[in-house]
Structure 1
Amino acid sequence: MWLAIAINYIDRTVLSAAAPFITKEFNLSAGQMGIIMSGFFWSYALLQIPAGWFADKFGQKKALGIAVLWWSLATAVTGLATGFKSLLGFRVALGVGEAAAYPSNAGIASKWFPDKERATVSSIFDSGSKFGGAIAMPLIVWLMAAFGWKWTFAIIGLLGVAWGIVWFLFYRDNPEDHKGVNKEELHYIRSGQTRKDGLTNVQPMKWYQLLKYRNIWAMCLGFFFINYNSYFFITWLPTYLVQERGMNLIEMGFIASLPLLVAMVVEVIAGWSSDKVVSSGKLSLTATRKLFLIIGLLMASCIGFAAFAESAVLAVILLCVAKSGTTVAASQVWALPSDVAPKNMTSVVAGMQNTVSNMGGVVGPIITGFIVGATGSFVPALLFSAGLIVLGIFNYLFLLGKVKPIDA
Structure 2
Amino acid sequence: MAADSLSPAAPSETDRPPTRRRAWLMVAALLVFMLLNYADKAVVGLVGVDLLRDLDIDASEFGLVQSGFFWLYAAGAIVGGFLIGRIPARWLLGGVALLWVLCLLPMVWSTSFTVLLVSRMLLGFAEGPSAAMALGVAHSWFPAAKRTLPTSFVVAGASFGPLVAAPVITFVVARFDWHAAFVVTAVAGVVWAVVWLIVGRDGPEEVGHGGSTFAALPERVPYRRLLTSGTVVGLTVLFFATYASVSIKVSWLPLTLRQGLGYDATTAGWLVALTYGSGGVLMVLFGAVSRAMTKRGAGVRTSRGLLSCVLVAMAGLCTILWPSLGRGPLQILVLVAGTSLCVGAQGVAWTLVSDVTPARQRGTVIGVMVSCYSMGGVIAPLVLGGLVDGASDPLAGYRLGFAGLGALLLVAALVAMWLVRPERDVETFASAPRPVPGRKDTVDA
Query: Is residue 317 of structure 2 the alignment partner of residue 288 of structure 1?
Result: no
User: Are 1:44 and 2:59 matched, yes or no?
Assistant: no
Query: Mean alpha-carbon deviation: is it higher for 86-95 or for 396-405?
Result: 396-405
Contact 2:31 2:156 in 1 (8 A): yes
Q: What is the CA deviation profile of residues 115-140 of structure 1, one whole-angstrom value per residue up to 9, with x for unaligned ones?
A: 12222112111111111112212212
Question: Does 1:401 pair with 2:394?
Answer: no
Query: What is aligned with 1:391?
Result: 411
Q: Distance in 1 between matches of 2:78 and 2:49?
A: 34
1:133 maps to a residue whose letter is: P
Q: Deviations over 1:316-364 (max 9, x none)?
A: 1111111121123112222122111123122222222222222112211
Name stretches of at least 5 consecutive residues in structure 2 with no aligned partner.
Answer: 1-29, 213-218, 435-445
Please tell me whether the aligned partners of residues 292 and 328 of structure 1 are also in contact (alpha carbons under 8 angstroms).
no
Letter in 1 for 2:199: F
Compute the TM-score of the two structures, normalised by the length of structure 1: 0.85
Question: Cα–Cα, structure 1 residues 5 and 193, in superposed 2: closer, same or farther, change >3 Å?
Answer: farther
1:97-246 paired onto structure 2 within 5 Å:
97-175=126-204, 194-195=210-211, 204=220, 210-246=226-262
Contact 2:167 2:273 survives alignment (8 Å): no
Contact 2:89 2:200 in 1 (8 A): no
Q: Which amino acid aligns with 2:105?
A: A
Match of 1:299 in 2: 314
Give, in angstroms, the shift of residue 232 of structure 1.
Answer: 2.9
Match of 1:186 in 2: none
Change in 2 beyond 3 A, CA 1:152/1:379: closer
**CA deviation after TM superposition for structure 1 residue 391, in Å:** 1.2
- Bigger CA drift: 12-21 or 255-264? 12-21
Contact 1:224 1:357 in 2 (8 A): yes
Tell me by how many angstroms 1:193 deviates. Answer: 6.9
Given that residues 131 and 264 in structure 1 are in contact (C-alpha distance below 8 angstroms), is that contact kept between their aligned partners in structure 2? yes
The letter of the residue matching 2:407 is: G
In the alignment, which residue of structure 1 is the partner of 2:37? 8
- Aligned partner of 2:352 among 336, 344, 349: 336
Please, which moves more after superposition, 84-93 or 20-29?
20-29
Residue 62 of structure 1 is matched in structure 2 by: 91
Structure 1 residues 256, 393: CA separation in 2 closer, same or farther (over 3 Å shift)?
same
Measured after TM superposition, the shift of residue 207 of structure 1 is 5.4
Q: CA RMSD in A?
A: 2.8
Find the aligned partners of 2:399 and 2:48 in 1 and give their Cα distance.
27
| CA spacing shift, 1:53–1:170, aligned 2, 3 Å | same
Distance 1:27 1:127, change over 3 A: same
The one-letter code sitting in structure 1 at the alignment partner of 2:402 is L
**Corresponding letter in the other structure for 2:383:** I
Distance of 2:339 and 2:72 partners within structure 1: 26
The question of 1:316 aligning with 2:345 is answered: no
Task: Note the C-alpha offset of 1:375.
Answer: 6.2
Cα 1:138/1:208, change in 2 over 3 Å: farther
Match of 1:183 in 2: none
| Aligned equivalents of 1:311, 1:19: Cα separation in 2 | 22
Measured after TM superposition, the shift of residue 27 of structure 1 is: 4.9
Q: Could you give the per-residue CA deviations for residues 260-291 of structure 1, whole angstroms, max 9, x where no partner exists?
A: 211111110101221122133x2111221123
- In 2 relative to 1, CA 208–75 (structure 1 residues): closer, same or farther, beyond 3 Å? farther
> Which runs of 5 or more structure 1 residues have no equivalent in the other structure?
176-188, 197-202
**1:37, 1:384 → 2: CA distance?**
18
| In 2: Cα distance, 1:193 partner to 1:205 partner | 12
Aligned residues: 389
Of the candidates 250, 253, 274, which is equivalent to residue 266 of structure 2? 250
Give the aligned residue type for 1:74: C
Structure 1 contact 334–350 (Cα < 8 Å) conserved: no
Q: Structure 2 length normalisation: TM-score?
A: 0.79
1:308 and 1:26 mapped to 2: Cα distance? 31
Structure 2: distance between partners of 1:69 and 1:394 = 40
Change in 2 beyond 3 A, CA 1:31/1:242: closer
* Amino acid corresponding to residue 7 of structure 1 in structure 2: L
How far apart, in 2, do the equivalents of 1:155 and 1:251 lie? 21
Q: Distance in 2 between matches of 1:83 and 1:379?
A: 31
- Residue in structure 2 matched with residue 271 of structure 1 by the alignment: 287
Please tell me whether the aligned partners of residues 119 and 332 of structure 1 are also in contact (alpha carbons under 8 angstroms): yes
Partner of residue 64 from structure 2, selected from 35, 42, 54: 35
CA distance in 2, matches of 1:16, 1:379: 18
